[in-house]
Structure 1
């Protein structure tokens, strides 16, 4: 009897461990670095404005940002699994979903609970800041929660909304929102830094849609790549990359951002190489080779992550002088 109970307990523990491992996969933890860098960028602009930083408020902001990103990732994985899209996408290190629920569908209820908890945590953090600053920050919270809940099922069916939603979430909401809760007001410096992230993060998701275009089309999605094709999408990518660089150059030239911010242009060169790689692949082949696609996606990740990080470092360094 004891042996049977021990066996049952061992199986239950193994099942729970397996479900937890699946949950971690659906959270897409390696991608959460982008959240950290965007929040740090908002912190840097607040320090640049000589604000007295409340590290407790910054901690709440960081928790809210991470929970929002986790909510988006897990809800996307959960809904893509149930729609069948997860079974059709080509998995790469940067796109196509984690495949965690395909490997272990028993973890689906746990993933859904995590979605609800993450949204609840995000909303609680937002309510704290509304209590602190009033309803001025409420529109940012409403937009953020709306993007989280509607991104997979609804936003992905509108080319323009799908293009701008990721950038708005990370650039306008995380960068500008962080600066606001630390300073109590909106600033041109934070908006400039947020605009840089807006264009780069929108580009990040834009390229990630290319490998999944056929799968996405089969479930009714209608983003830029599906609607206008790969070549036109690369034109949009190039325009957004130029806009991001232009914001850095103009904001630095007019002293909205410190002159050191020019160094933040360096990681954007990875984006230049990314689009060049894809254009060459499109010209030479009917379908983009896997090696070229993965190289391009990897370079795109470098541009989107290291630009806000380096920009934050440049801004913080300038405050030491």
Structure 2
């Protein structure tokens, strides 16, 4: 009997050191996901990342007297469907990897066991398909067939954020990709499909709102820094460390306001965008001094709100 017992407990020590991740919560208490859980899984507060760049891109198009409401709505649909798809795909990928087993934020559909992984994946793919369909409609209306390549690249970026064998979100590149796709790509793309041009104002406003997008993802990762480090998810926050990450977050929130100097020359109402500082300054203080996940969750919510206020104010100044 002793030999049999020894055989059962022997094996690769690395496997014993890193046991298979368990689902968070009490397995006996796992309940089925409700409609509210699915809405929460879409992470509505992150949808400012989709709305803000389309507002700015359309505002520049309006300034050029080329605003097309149908193309603007389609661009918004692409952005929203893609963002929701990313959120569900993230839920699925992190859940099956076991990353969400130690999370401190809101529970996820897959990680908590409230929904089957295949179901969450299917929902993500449906939203990706909706984004692709709206994108194809834009291509047909504008006859800009090369946009198909841009759309395909966006879908690839959406999936490999946490999906695939080597997700770039686990390598600290999430903030960079969020900056690019929810900043210059989204703003300039929205302007281009309506005007056929890519003016400097679109590029600059794209950079500005892209910095907000990077800040939103960074503060989310700062909240999860200890848990991500445990599961080898080397986000930018994990790579930089808590103190440096908080400083970078403040810088990301401050830089967009520097770009307002250019817009103030062209648009008299642009300085009103400075009112967004009433949100970003307290948020910066919260992140610098935060000691609990709850404080960082509040900071995440306020950063999303600040991005929306910034984009709405600047868009109004440009368009009107």
Tell me what 1:238 maps to.
Answer: 250
Deviation by residue 1:55-88 (Cα, 9 ceiling, x = unmatched): 2222222221111011100000111111112221
Q: In structure 2, the residue corresponding to 1:152 is in which secondary structure? A: coil
1:307 Cα shift?
1.1
Are 1:41 and 2:56 matched, yes or no?
A: yes
Are 1:70 and 2:70 matched, yes or no?
A: no
- Displacement over 4 Å in runs of 4+: 17-21
Are 1:27 and 2:42 matched, yes or no?
A: yes
1:146 Cα shift?
2.3
268, 276, 282: which one aligns with 2:285:
276
Q: Which runs of 5+ in 2 are unaligned?
A: 1-31
1:314 Cα shift?
2.3
210, 219, 227: which one aligns with 2:239:
227
Q: How does 1:142-221 map to 2 (within 5 A)?
A: 142-153=152-163, 154-159=167-172, 161-221=173-233
Tell me what 1:111 maps to.
Answer: 120
TM score, norm. by length of structure 2: 0.80
Q: Which runs of 5+ in 1 are unaligned?
A: 1-16, 92-96, 282-287
Q: How does 1:93-132 map to 2 (within 5 A)?
A: 97-131=106-140, 132=142
Are 1:79 and 2:93 matched, yes or no?
A: yes
Tell me what 1:89 maps to.
Answer: 103
- Give, in whole Å, the separation in 1 of the partners of 2:42 and 2:186: 18
- Give, in whole Å, the separation in 2 of the partners of 1:89 and 1:103: 10
45, 52, 71: which one aligns with 1:57:
71
Deviation by residue 1:224-257 (Cα, 9 ceiling, x = unmatched): 211111211122223322321111223333x2xx
Contact 1:20/1:107 (8 A) holds in 2: no
